[in-house]
A and B are shown apart, each in its own frame.
Chain A
């Protein structure tokens, strides 16, 4: 097993109490698996992805374990995690493009980064250039400042830098959201290529755009209001989802080929529950057409069939 997360709970501290962003999450990722983490805004997917690497100021670790390649990750301890960050587990944060230091050239920044992990730059310089050329960037990029690169170029450069030390797990947080559709395709395909070439073993691709996940992910994990709702191979999630939320969500996505005059699509009425004082039990029950009295108790995230987990009382008997 590459990654094993067990009952992870990460909350945000606020003046008015704790926002329960990741509230008891359990799942596995196998070696070589690209898992898409999908959900709408506020569902906790970014919090989940980022908590595996770096707890920001407001986040607090409440419980649960994270196992990477058999080693327990001490995510609550910033210093201890330094050992693992970038080497075993790496992240491409949201807005990575604008997170590059504008006053450092790309080459110098990378040298700083690997140096801080105890790896002399010259050991990786050759491989770095090779990988840059693989993604279509010439080695002139090393001497350029971020402002000289386009959005797509910056995204690709950040991808190469983040995976330079061949981490076991890469977390890509909304890396295609701000890109044009053609660059999006190039970047998404690059993710798969990185995995195929062994630069990265497994990946968590966080996005709200499920259609991108269908293109590149092996499995998709759907999250809603801090809970996991369904995990299955990408084809199954799109073609034959089981959880009511997933079903309603998939059927609300327009695609090229479906016209308004032929078939009207529908959304999901209502809004997700507030995570500050979430309701008991299943968090989707206020909007779920299949809700009943037993939904007051939180359904377990059960394995319906091999590789297909669902958290719903109405599914699977």
Chain B
């Protein structure tokens, strides 16, 4: 009788534990625990048949079904281009301005954040193939497929045109090479600058800052007057995330958190 009373007392507690979890996996574990306790109560109440069925369905089958369901829906799959300050790998973890926004967003919607780094020109393909929910990593809002949803800009930036080398430092044997027709794939541009090869490209400010560390002597740098900003790109099948992300960015902006985060990572 005492054991049954204790188990009955624990039942609402574990149920509440399952209800209060932000992470779905923990909620599922809470539900399984509740089922197991309930099965024990049935067993102690001289109903072993019901106990076995409850344990098999509640603690095993239903738990597995939920785990299957959250395998995809429980993750926020982000495909990103790596940019210092916005989203970069430091040791075995990721940090940056955009990472913090997405981390907060994932917590809010109860998803596990998972990031896959790719080249910037592959992001569109990955999102349209539904292999990821959201694109990030210093993305400018224009020039995306019409099916993709572009969030409002969360950080102002500008485009910088880099042309050169214009001085005699350019190697004669490589001066007849065609300009690197790059939109923003940084590593190729960095390689070109290191080798003093001619380039004619436009980069956003974050990528330009990375490039400038490699020395731009002899290259002409012209900042674009048109103001733009970084945005997230959402896959068409996750329109639900889009509205929530927009709302959260707006909240962060109004509360001043967005400015504080920018100061922390970008100054």
Q: Do A and B come from one complex?
A: no
Listed in ascending order, the chain A residues whose CB lies under 8 Å from chain B are none
Q: Give the A-binding residues of B (Cβ under 8 A).
A: none
